[in-house]
A and B are shown apart, each in its own frame.
Chain A
Amino acid sequence: MLSPGILVPAVLNGLLTGALYALVALGLTLIYGVLHIINFAHGALLTAAMFAAFFAHRLLGLDPYIAALILTPLFFVVGYGLQRCVIGPASHGEDRNYLLVTLGLAVVIENALLYAFRADTRTVTLDYAFDVIQLGPAFLAVPRVMAFAAVIVVAVALWLFMRLSDTGKAIRAVAREKLGAELVGIEVAHIYAVTFGLGTACLAIAACLLIPTYYVNPQAGNAFVLIAFTIVVLGGMGSVAGALIGGLLVGVVESLSGLYLGESLGQIGIFIVFILALLLRPTGLFGQPVL
Chain B
Amino acid sequence: MSSAAGWIDRRRLLGSAVLGAGAATSGALMMPGVLRAQGSAVKLGIVHPVSGALSYSGQQGRLGAVMAIDEINAAGGIKALNGAKIEAVLGDAQSTPEGGNAEVEKMNSAGVAAIVGGYGSSICLAASQTAARYDLPYVVDVGVVDAIVTRGLKNTFRFGPGFGVIAKTALDNLVTINDLAGKPAKTVMIVHEDSAFGSGLAKLLNDQLPGRGFQVLDTISHPTPTRDFNNVVLKIRAQAPDLVVPANYYNEYVLLARTMQQQRIRSKGIYSVLGGAASSYKFVKEFPEAAQYIMDCNHWFDPRSAKSAALRKKVEEKGEFYTYEVYMNYSCILLVADALERAASTDRAKLITALESSTFSGHVMPYGPTKFVNGQNQGAAPVNTQVLGNDIQVILPESFASAKPVFPMPRA
Chain A interfacial positions (CB closer than 8 Å to B): 1, 3, 5-6, 9-10, 13, 17, 38, 40, 99, 103-104, 106-107, 110-111, 114, 118-121, 123, 125, 129-130, 132, 139, 141, 213-215, 217-219, 223-224, 226, 229-230, 233, 255, 258-259, 262-264, 266-267, 274, 278
Tell me which residues across on chain A come within 8 A of B59, comparing CB atoms.
Answer: 118-120
Known: A129-B258, A217-B55. 7 other contacts (CB 8 A): A6-B234, A121-B254, A132-B264, A215-B254, A218-B51, A229-B4, A255-B228
Tell me which residues across on chain B come within 8 A of A274, comparing CB atoms.
Answer: 1
Is A9 touching B235 in the complex (CB atoms < 8 A)? no
* Other-chain contact of B238, A6, A13, A17, A99 (Cβ < 8 Å): A6
B interface secondary structure, majority? helix
Chain B interfacial positions (CB closer than 8 Å to A): 1, 4-5, 7-8, 10-11, 14-15, 18, 50-53, 55-56, 58-59, 194, 220-223, 225-228, 230-232, 234-235, 238, 250-251, 254-255, 258, 261-264, 286-287, 289
Is A5 touching B238 in the complex (CB atoms < 8 A)? yes
- Given known pairs A40-B11, A215-B251, the reply for A10 and B231 (CB within 8 Å) is yes
Is A125 touching B286 in the complex (CB atoms < 8 A)? yes
Tell me which residues across on chain A come within 8 A of B4, comparing CB atoms.
Answer: 38, 226, 229, 233
Is B264 touching A223 in the complex (CB atoms < 8 A)? no
Give the shortest distance, in Å, between B149 (CB) and chain A (any CB): 27
Tell me which residues across on chain B come within 8 A of A3, comparing CB atoms.
Answer: 238
Is A259 touching B223 in the complex (CB atoms < 8 A)? no
Is A10 touching B223 in the complex (CB atoms < 8 A)? no
Tell me which residues across on chain B come within 8 A of A224, comparing CB atoms.
Answer: 227
A277 to B222, CA, bound (A): 26
With CB as the reference atom, state the residue of chain A lying closest to B263. A139
With CB as the reference atom, state the residue of chain A lying closest to B227. A223
* Other-chain contact of B56, A9, A107, A217 (Cβ < 8 Å): A217
With CB as the reference atom, state the residue of chain B lying closest to A122. B286
A214 to B286, CA, bound (A): 13
Give the shortest distance, in Å, between B17 (CB) and chain A (any CB): 9
With CB as the reference atom, state the residue of chain B lying closest to A38. B4
Is A121 touching B251 in the complex (CB atoms < 8 A)? yes
Give the shortest distance, in Å, between B390 (CB) and chain A (any CB): 14
* Other-chain contact of B234, A99, A132, A259, A266 (Cβ < 8 Å): A259
* Other-chain contact of B262, A121, A139, A255 (Cβ < 8 Å): A139
Nearest 3 pairs between A and B by C-beta? Answer: A119-B55, A263-B222, A13-B230
Is B14 touching A103 in the complex (CB atoms < 8 A)? yes
Question: Can you identify 10 A-B contacts, CB atoms within 8 angstroms?
Answer: A1-B238, A38-B4, A104-B14, A106-B11, A119-B50, A215-B255, A218-B55, A255-B231, A264-B194, A264-B221
Is B287 touching A125 in the complex (CB atoms < 8 A)? yes
A216 to B279, CA, bound (A): 21
Tell me which residues across on chain A come within 8 A of B232, comparing CB atoms.
Answer: 263
Tell me which residues across on chain B come within 8 A of A141, comparing CB atoms.
Answer: 262
* Other-chain contact of B7, A1, A40, A255 (Cβ < 8 Å): A40
Is A226 touching B5 in the complex (CB atoms < 8 A)? yes
Is B18 touching A107 in the complex (CB atoms < 8 A)? yes
Tell me which residues across on chain B come within 8 A of A99, comparing CB atoms.
Answer: 7
Tell me which residues across on chain B come within 8 A of A118, comparing CB atoms.
Answer: 59
Most B CB atoms within 10 A — which of A99, A104, A123, A263? A263
A141 to B261, CA, bound (A): 11
* Other-chain contact of B58, A111, A119, A258 (Cβ < 8 Å): A119
Tell me which residues across on chain A come within 8 A of B5, comparing CB atoms.
Answer: 226
Tell me which residues across on chain B come within 8 A of A215, comparing CB atoms.
Answer: 251, 254-255
Tell me which residues across on chain B come within 8 A of A266, comparing CB atoms.
Answer: 231
With CB as the reference atom, state the residue of chain A lying closest to B63. A118
A182 to B262, CA, bound (A): 53
- Given known pairs A119-B56, A226-B5, A264-B221, the reply for A6 and B235 (CB within 8 Å) is yes
Tell me which residues across on chain B come within 8 A of A255, comparing CB atoms.
Answer: 228, 230-231
